[in-house]
Amino acid sequence: MRASIFFPDHLVLDNFLKKELPKTYTYPEVGATKTNAQFAHYDNDYNQAIIGKGEVVWQKAKNALKNWQHFPLPWTKIYPNTTALKEGEVVVVLFRLFGIWWRNSAKIVYAFDESNRFGFAYGTLPGHIETGEEVFWIERDTDGVVSYHIKAFSTPRFWLARLAYPIARFFQRRFVKDSKATMQKIVEEAKK
């Protein structure tokens, strides 16, 4: 985890990414978001929202996940946002809090592209302020109703995150709320 007042330039982000690329996950439960397991030593979160109905909504939501558009602007960003949803790919997760940009690293654990489910999970690397895993997916029921899901288990990793735990949890909840609203807005625009 690194911080800066200004949004980091590509050189800084590329160097951070290069250093994090060979590193391993910071937690032993890699892939556990595939299960319904709950972990006593983590915060376990699950959120969902119905975002629309029909093929147009499905395709737009799928495309939004592929392009990392579910990260709510302007206070969160993914670098590079062209990263393929493929196991082993590494991204920089950036968020801006209190006027400071925080850089974190995450690696894709798994991805899935089924007829009625699409999504991916990523896990934290040593350059992340938290430790844990998060999965984002869309799902379509037999009536064509499309829902967006976020499931995660996490806990603060660095002393700063532990010290500011209530603030960290507030922003985790804000991220979920804003991400759901972002996905809703994306599919609403597709209907126009």
Burial, 43: exposed, middle or buried (Cβ in 10 Å; 0-12, 13-18, 19+)? middle
CATH superfamily name and code, 2-21+40-191: START domain (3.30.530.20)
pLDDT one-digit tens code per residue, 86-133: 999 999 999 998 899 999 999 999 999 999 999 999 999 999 989 999
Distance spanning both ends of the chain, measured CA to CA? 40
Instruction: Convert the pLDDT of each residue in 125-180 to its tens digit.
Output: 999 989 999 999 999 999 999 999 999 999 988 777 777 788 888 899 999 999 99
Closest CA to 30 of 130, 134, 118: 134
Centroid of chain to Cα 173: 13
Q: Closest Cα to residue 43, out of 173, 178, 180? A: 173
Structural domain boundaries of the chain?
2-21+40-191
Which residue type, as a one-letter code, is found at position 40?
A: A
Token pair 């949803």 is found at: 85
pTM: 0.94
For residues 51 and 174, give the distance between their C-alpha atoms in angstroms, rounded to a whole number. 18
